[in-house]
């Protein structure tokens, strides 16, 4: 049984924040290993996709390192020099630039694995119920778009297995047609069935109201929020900026609440919180608070900048244990299976 959607969203937010807030190779490696561990337990059927991500992930890391090394000519450890007459890539290729590019690629691979894990282990029906009432139609469209790729991959595997039973083999590009044509027909049939099901349930047949006050509150709240962020980051007025940002968020929340009340939605049952859901939520919030606290109050713990001279990145044991907490879904599932 999947985790509660709120707990699963908290885990995704914690993993993404922990990945985006650092370029330290130690913490990025811990985050990637923790997510791979969690993925192997909560989505065991997607193990083949995990192997595919890891295999092609090294190629992405190598490409990012090479691209950054060819375009950023800065650093003390020069590996090779290209003729300066070459546009853009001419100049010194340094170890610092290659390392920073590889770290960027490692961060991208980790994010891909995080979202793949979230996508494979999510209950889309439960996630759809979390969208505000006035955004229900947009949430349904987004959920359909999210499941399009996994459904297409599964359909391709089915078509591929069926054609292999019939003796089909991929020898050249002409042999791809017997795979693509059934896949296209399957996709069109699924689209037609989905459209008929949505039309039979009256999807989009009734406009969403909510009143002029709520819409004005949304517009004014967004303006105040942007003004607060600008004062906080650009003009160095932290207190005024934070205050205006809080007011803007409150106005947005009030406007969303008023618009949601104008939409009537029914539920067959209310999702109950289990012990593992509460545990995952608490661990995810702790990871989120720890990484954001380190980023705001002591950025040197997470920051790693190899320029101008490559050096050993710092590592804090307690912060490493925080990153291990990303693997919390695997801990709980392992205890259940044991």
Confidence at residue 272, expressed as pLDDT on a 0 to 100 scale:
79
- Which residue has better confidence, 318 or 181? 318
pLDDT of 337 higher than 80: no
Of 103, 91, 114, nearest to 12 by C-alpha is 114
Average pLDDT over residues 69-76: 88
pLDDT of 55 higher than 80: no
pTM of the full structure: 0.71
Average pLDDT over residues 180-188: 84
Average pLDDT over residues 109-130: 82
DSSP string, 290-310: HHHHHHHH-GGGT-----SS-
Of 104, 137, 131, nearest to 25 by C-alpha is 104
Three-state SS at 252: helix
Read off the pLDDT band of 46 (50, 70, 90). low
Confidence at residue 338, expressed as pLDDT on a 0 to 100 scale:
47
Question: What percent of the chain is modeled with pLDDT above 70?
Answer: 85
For 127, which DSSP code? Answer: H
Rg over alpha carbons for the chain, rounded to the nearest Å, is 25
- Which residue has better confidence, 272 or 133? 272
Q: Which helix (H) or strand (E) holds 223?
A: helix 212-233
Average pLDDT over residues 30-43: 89
Confidence at residue 98, expressed as pLDDT on a 0 to 100 scale:
93
């Amino acid at each position: 049984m999947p985790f509660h959607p709120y707990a699963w969203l908290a885990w995704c937010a914690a993993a993404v924040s922990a990945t985006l807030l650092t370029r330290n190779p130690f913490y990025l490696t811990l985050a990637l290993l923790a997510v791979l561990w969690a993925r192997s337990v909560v989505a065991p059927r997607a193990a083949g996709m995990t192997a595919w991500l890891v295999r092609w992930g090294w190629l992405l890391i190598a490409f990012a390192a090479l691209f950054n090394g060819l375009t950023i000519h800065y650093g003390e450890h020069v590996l090779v020099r290209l003729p300066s007459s070459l546009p853009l890539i001419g100049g010194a290729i340094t170890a610092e630039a290659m390392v920073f590019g590889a770290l960027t690629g490692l961060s991208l691979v980790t994010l891909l694995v995080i979202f793949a894990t979230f996508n494979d282990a999510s209950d889309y029906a439960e996630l759809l119920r979390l969208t505000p009432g006035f955004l229900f139609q947009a949430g349904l469209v987004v959920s359909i778009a999210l499941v399009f790729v996994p459904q297409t991959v599964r359909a391709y595997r089915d078509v591929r297995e069926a054609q292999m039973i019939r003796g089909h083999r991929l020898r050249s590009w002409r042999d791809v047609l017997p795979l693509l044509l059934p896949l296209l027909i399957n996709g069109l049939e699924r689209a037609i069935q989905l459209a008929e099901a949505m039309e039979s349930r009256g999807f989009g047949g009734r406009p969403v109201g909510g009143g002029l006050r709520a819409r004005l509150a949304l517009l004014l709240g967004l303006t105040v929020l942007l003004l607060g962020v600008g004062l906080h980051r650009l003009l160095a007025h932290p207190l005024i900026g934070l205050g205006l940002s809080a007011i803007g968020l409150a106005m947005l929340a009030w406007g969303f609440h008023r618009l949601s009340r104008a939409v009537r939605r029914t539920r067959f049952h209310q999702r109950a919180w289990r012990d593992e859901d509460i545990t995952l939520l608490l661990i995810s919030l702790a990871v989120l608070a720890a990484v954001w606290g380190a980023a705001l109050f002591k950025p040197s713990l997470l920051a790693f900048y190899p320029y101008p001279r490559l050096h050993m990145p710092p590592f804090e044991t307690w912060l490493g244990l925080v990153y291990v907490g990303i693997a919390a879904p695997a801990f709980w599932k392992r205890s259940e299976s044991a």
